[in-house]
Structure 1
Amino acid sequence: MKLSLLFFTALVYSFSPLVHAADMKIYHWVDENGKSHFSDTAVPGTEEIDVKNNNLLSTGKKDSDQTDAIASELNIDDEDSPVITYQATITAPEDDKPLRSNDGTIDIHVKTEPEKENTHRLQLYLDGKKLGSPQISPTMRALNIDRGTHQVQVELLDEDGKVLAKTQVVTVHLQRTGKK
């Protein structure tokens, strides 16, 4: 009898988190960078979300109607979401300074504010022409560039190739020794 009572008590305690999970409260807020956050703890400026826990699982693809319905339940609207404005700056090389590189290499370093996402790419322009293909790394290298004055600029692109930001144009005076 004591063993069955002990087993029953253990069984009840093991299922108690599932019973209380339906009573949990979820809070939603958007930070100053426009990112949505969810938590089980209320902080100033949060909105309580009514969660309907039906314990249903679906392996099918979600269509846009389902996504819209979920977004409307959570009071999330793409049009109300703040648009993130990016700024991009070339931090190296310095503008209008001579650069010594006998092999014609120019290293370009770009800083974005806020920090770019992994899906964003950077496109390098040299003298107004695309140089190479867009890349993820904020450090780029132009190789075998002729000596002389050149204009460098970088564009920040989203995953669809849309320009999110452009850097300032940096003038580089490349110095390299000539072949004798």
Structure 2
Amino acid sequence: MRFILFSLLCISLSSSAAVYRWVDENGKVHYSDEAKPNAELVEVKENTQNTIVLNDTPIIIDSTSQNDAIELVLSIVSPTHDETIRSNEGKFDVIVSVTPTLPRGILLALFIDGEVKAQPQSSSTFSLMGIYRGEHIIVVKALDQNGKVLASSSPRKIFLHQASVRRLAKPTPYYAKKGN
């Protein structure tokens, strides 16, 4: 390890050692770190070298960008995973737990099957209506004012059952068919 560090130090010292300038037979000027025939040593001035100066000024983070540093944990409390909900109107509530409390300016958005189903809000309870029967995946995401996702809940699968809209014909009793 020490040999590698020593080798790197020697290479860095030798790379900044000298610059040579020469003119070829066509009159073109060349520069190199290797001495060529008829080359002259060029003195490199400090102000011609590229340098980067880093200031030690502290970075001030405004209160709106501190939201990125806060780690929010979102979890869907209700409905539970694989829960079956029976509602002919497609009505149910989604309740979300947010830890720590939701900072000002952060909104919660409810996604069902990848689509936003409720206007982003600061409340942790979503009241839904008109959701169709079937299997659905629910996810809640915390968004900042620019729509950037700061946190997301785990997906929650639910099943919505609704009574059938078509009516089956009433069966005719067997004895009525025979004419008895």
Q: Please indicate the TM-score interval, normalised by the length of the shorter structure.
A: 0.5 to 0.7
How do 1:103-114 residues align onto structure 2 when only pairs under 5 Å count?
A: 103-114=89-100
Question: Structure 2, unaligned stretches of length 5 or more?
Answer: 1-56, 168-180
1: CA distance, partners of 2:141 / 2:88 = 27
Superposition map of 1:1-180 within 5 A = 77-78=60-61, 83-179=69-165, 180=167
> Given residue 61 of structure 2, which amino acid in structure 1 is its aligned partner?
D
Tell me how far 1:136 sits from its aligned partner.
Answer: 1.5
**Shift, 1:76, TM fit:** 8.1
1:8-53 Cα deviation digits (max 9, x unpaired): xxxxxxxxxxxxxxxxxxxxxxxxxxxxxxxxxxxxxxxxxxxxxx
Look up the equivalent residue of 1:99 and give its one-letter code: I
Q: CA deviation at 1:112?
A: 1.0
Percent of residue pairs bearing the same amino acid type: 31
CA distance in 2, matches of 1:142, 1:126: 11
Q: Runs of 4 or more off by more than 2 Å in structure 1?
A: 75-79
Aligned residues: 106
TM-score by length of 2: 0.53
Distance 1:101 1:131 in 2: 17
Instruction: State the shift of 1:118 in Å.
Output: 3.2
The equivalent residue for 2:44 is: none
Shift of residue 102, structure 1, vs aligned partner: 2.1
Matched residue SS, 1:168: coil
Secondary structure at 2:61's aligned position in 1? coil
CA distance in 1, matches of 2:72, 2:118: 22
- The 1:97–1:177 alpha-carbon spacing in structure 2 relative to 1, beyond 3 Å, is same
Whether the aligned pair in 1 keeps the contact of 2:86 and 2:160 (CA below 8 Å) is: yes
Q: Would you say the 8 A contact 2:133–2:159 is kept in 1?
A: yes
* TM score, norm. by length of structure 1: 0.53
